[in-house]
Each structure stands twice: as C-alpha cells, then as structure tokens.
Amino acid sequence: MSAVSQIELPDGRSVWMVTKYALAKKVLSDTTLSNDTSRMGEKAPLAALPASVREVMAKDMLNTDPPKHTRLRQLVAQNFTVRSVQEMRPLANEIADRLLSKVDTSTEVDLVPEYAQPLPTLVLGALIGIPEEDCADVQYWSDTFVSELLLISDKLQASAEWLSQYATELVRRKRLAPGDDLLSRLIAAELDDDELSSMVFVLLIAGQTAASQLIAKAAHLLLTHPDQLAAVRADESLLPGMVDEALRFESPLDVTAFRMTTEPFELDGVTIPVGEIVICSMPAINRDPDRFPDPDTFDIRRMDNAHLSFGFGIHRCLGANLARVETEAAVSALLRRQSSSAITVREDGVRWQPGGIMHLLTSLPVRF
Ligand code: HEM
C-alpha cells in the first residue's frame, strides 16, 4: 500500500489515508489543513448527524481552527496540565480500588464492563461535575457514540441526541446550583450556553471510551506478556513507560486527523486537491519500522517512544495526562489486588468489536 492513498470509509465517503509516521506528523502539524467542520459540508465526518447535534459539535475545540480553537482550548487547558492532573491521582486510585473491591473475585470477572469502562467516567464526572448517579448513562451513550462513529446507524443518531441534550441540561443545572467543578468555573468564565454545551459534549465523547480502551488494552497486554508484567510488578516506576508502550502498540484510536485541505497539499509526491479529507492510520504510523525499531514487539522499556496516539500539533489530546494517570491507577490497583501470577485471562472469552474509528476490546474475562 502506498504511504498516501485514497480509501473509502464505511459510510461511503472517500478520504486520503496516510500510513507513515513522518507524513502523519506533517499532516497533524500543517496549519493550512482545517478542522473546521462547518466548512466541510458533506465531507464532514459527522455530516450524517442531525443538524441540531452538528451545530453543538461545530462549536467545540476539536472542530474549530484558530483563533476560535485557541480561545476554547485556553479556557480549560489549565485543568489538564501535568500538575493539575497529579492532584486527581488520589481520586483515580480511590476509584480504582473501590471498583475492584466490588468485583467478586471468587468467580470470573469481565474487566471491561466491571473496571475499565466505569473508571474514566467516574474520574471525568468528578472533574466536570457530573452527579455519580448519571455516570452509567453518560458512559453508555458516549461509548455508543464513539463506537458507531463513521458507521451509518440509528444508534449514532440516538447517542448524539442524548449526549447533546444531557450537555445542555447539565449546563442548565449548574447555572442554578454551581459546585466546585470545572463546569461551574467555566460558567463563571462567561462562555455562552452554546459554547458551554459544546465544551461538555466534546469532553464527554473524547474523555471516556478511548481512556477505557487504553485501560482494557494495557491490562490485556500485560496479562498476556508475563515477562513484562513481572517487570512492572517488581518496579512500578516502569508504569509510565508501560502506558506509552500500550498506547503505541494498541492505539485506542485506529484513525485520527480528519483534516480538510484548503489548498493543494503535497505529500510524498502526491498532490491532494482542495476540499479533500486527510486521515492518519494509527496502527500503521505507530508501528512504522522507519520510526520504531522492532515495532511489533511490546516492550515497556522501549526508549524514544514518541507515538502519535494522542495526536500532534495544536489539537494534540487535551486529556493525555489524565488518561495516563487513570491507566497508571487502574493497573497499579490491579497489581496491588493480587499477585500477578494469580490473574489469568480466559483467552477464548476475549472479544473485539470493529468500530468506525476504533477496534474495541469489549470483553476481557479474568480469574483472580
Ligand atoms: C484530542 C486521543 C483521552 C480530550 C485528541 C486527539 C487524539 C486523542 C488523537 C487529536 C485529534 C485530532 O488531532 O484531530 C486520545 C486517546 C485518549 C484520549 C488515545 C485515551 C487514551 C482523552 C481524555 C480527554 C480527552 C481523557 C478529556 C478528559 C480531548 C480533547 C481533544 C482531544 C478535548 C481535542 C483537543 C483539541 O482539539 O485541541 N485525543 N484522547 N482525550 N482529546 Fe483525547
């Protein structure tokens, strides 16, 4: 396959796919490429969604260009710095321990629904100010939305509508009864209601499924690589490197970018015309042998592991530090819970589900 080629997405749209690391970095950092979905018309990744939902999404940071993007991102960026997120580590540890204490370890446990899925939602919920009793619904609908993206489905429409209505309702409730949370602080920072709903919407869809998939995939990788598991058990300072290697080896997202060319775009000898969508293949770029030696080996001690799973450039993942802390907390609690040799995966019960932008690990049955 050529490093830049036209492919057809499951929803029938034709896009340009990039499969080499150096070219992907160029796509993600070139400011002539646009994220502004309101300019993309039928080419927009979400063109099939109801107009009301598209309007909410068109105002979020992921779907805008500077200067709008810069302003929106700056409003929340300080909540996602390494230092701010470190303050959430005790909460992430506490939630991980709480979830594990609830599972019945005398029988088989599916770590995806019991552990990996609720954990990031509960952490994000505490940050944004989502009542705990709403978290299961929020998680269900955002998982549905993300897993159905790029597929033409009623479920995608239903989830988008539920999430955008929930975001609007949460803003309304916080205006009436502010708390000590991110959304209440944003209300005080004078965003209008549409901008607030868009901010909540983008955090809900970006902050859960990818993070829970990282936890599930990291646990699966460790439990199926006993030497790496033993190493991290013996020395927990290897945890951050393990998280990065899990991100590189099994990127939660299969594709990213969805940038539109605003002028003819030269890439590896190919000229992509104006108005075309460019995407990057995560598995290909993160296992590009020209960038990563021995790319198909899962090695938690890998040096120089600058994978692109969190993207690159001005839209680089806002929640990267948070996702790292959540995954470190999740794996560390598992390691504390039982001796590693006592946790075994029932491989014939492991289930994967293809999605539009992710291949999802949906079931990870283990015995303690
Ligand atoms: C953007 C991946 C977790 C919030 C992105 C992008 C990627 C990504 C690849 C860039 C998209 C682009 O360039 O078009 C991931 C992965 C995660 C994760 C793999 C988990 C392992 C989170 C979390 C949050 C979050 C936990 C929030 C709590 C965002 C936001 C953006 C973003 C708001 C848009 C940033 C911008 O446009 O400036 N993410 N993400 N993500 N992510 Fe994440």
Q: What is the pLDDT of residues 177-226, one digit of tens each?
A: 999 999 999 998 878 889 999 999 999 999 999 999 999 999 999 999 99
Question: In the chain, pLDDT over 70 holds for what percent of residues?
Answer: 99
Number of domains into which the chain is organized: 1
Ligand 1 atom at minimal distance to the Cα of residue 282:
9
Which residue from 337, 364, 360 is spatially nearest to 350, judged by alpha carbons?
364
User: What is the band of 296 on the pLDDT scale with cuts at 50, 70, 90?
Assistant: very high
Using the mean position of ligand 1's atoms as its centre, give its distance from the Cα of residue 269 in Å.
30
Q: Is the Cβ–Cβ distance between 361 and 368 less than 8 Å?
A: no
d(C-alpha 135, C-alpha 129), whole Å: 11
Cβ of residue 61 lying under 6 Å from some atom of ligand 1: yes
User: What is the band of 51 on the pLDDT scale with cuts at 50, 70, 90?
Assistant: confident
Ligand 1 atom at minimal distance to the Cα of residue 253:
19
Using the mean position of ligand 1's atoms as its centre, give its distance from the Cα of residue 316 in Å.
7
d(C-alpha 350, C-alpha 216), whole Å: 11
Cβ of residue 206 lying under 6 Å from some atom of ligand 1: yes
Query: What pLDDT digit, counting tens, does each position of 307-341 carry?
Result: 999 999 999 999 999 999 999 999 999 998 876 55
d(C-alpha 321, C-alpha 323), whole Å: 6
Cβ of residue 323 lying under 6 Å from some atom of ligand 1: yes
State yes or no: ipTM above 0.90: yes
Domain extent at residue 16 = 4-367
Cβ of residue 27 lying under 6 Å from some atom of ligand 1: no
- Helix/strand/coil (H, E, C) string of the chain? CCCEEEEECCCCCEEEEECCHHHHHHHHHCCCEECCHHHCHHHCCCCCCCHHHHHHHHCCHHHCCCCHHHHHHHHHHHHHCHHHHHCCHHHHHHHHHHHHHHCCCCCCEEHHHHHHCHHHHHHHHHHHCCCHHHHHHHHHHHHHHHHHCCCCCHHHHHHHHHHHHHHHHHHHHHHHCCCCCHHHHHHHCCCCHHHHHHHHHHHHHHCCHHHHHHHHHHHHHHHCCHHHHHHHHHCHHHHHHHHHHHHHHCCCCCEEEEEEECCCEEECCEEECCCCEEEEEHHHHHCCCCCCCCCCCCCCCCCCCCCCCCCCHHHCCCCHHHHHHHHHHHHHHHHHHCCHHHCEECHHHCEEEECCCCEEEEECEEEC
Q: What is the pLDDT of residue 320?
A: 98
Q: What is the pLDDT of residue 341?
A: 56
Select from 130, 260, 318 the residue to mutate for testing ligand 1; criterion: most ligand atoms less than 8 Å from CB.
318
Cβ of residue 88 lying under 6 Å from some atom of ligand 1: no
Task: Kindly report the protein residue whose alpha carbon is nearest to atom 37 of ligand 1.
Answer: 62
Cβ of residue 252 lying under 6 Å from some atom of ligand 1: yes
Q: What is the pLDDT of residue 74?
A: 96
Select from 317, 326, 327 the residue to mutate for testing ligand 1; criterion: most ligand atoms less than 8 Å from CB.
317
Identify the CATH number of the domain in which residue 47 sits.
1.10.630.10
Q: What is the pLDDT of residue 43?
A: 84
Question: In the chain, pLDDT over 90 holds for what percent of residues?
Answer: 83
Cβ of residue 317 lying under 6 Å from some atom of ligand 1: yes
Which residue from 160, 153, 167, 155 is spatially nearest to 124, judged by alpha carbons?
167
Task: Kindly report the protein residue whose alpha carbon is nearest to atom 30 of ligand 1.
Answer: 318
Task: Kindly report the protein residue whose alpha carbon is nearest to atom 5 of ligand 1.
Answer: 317
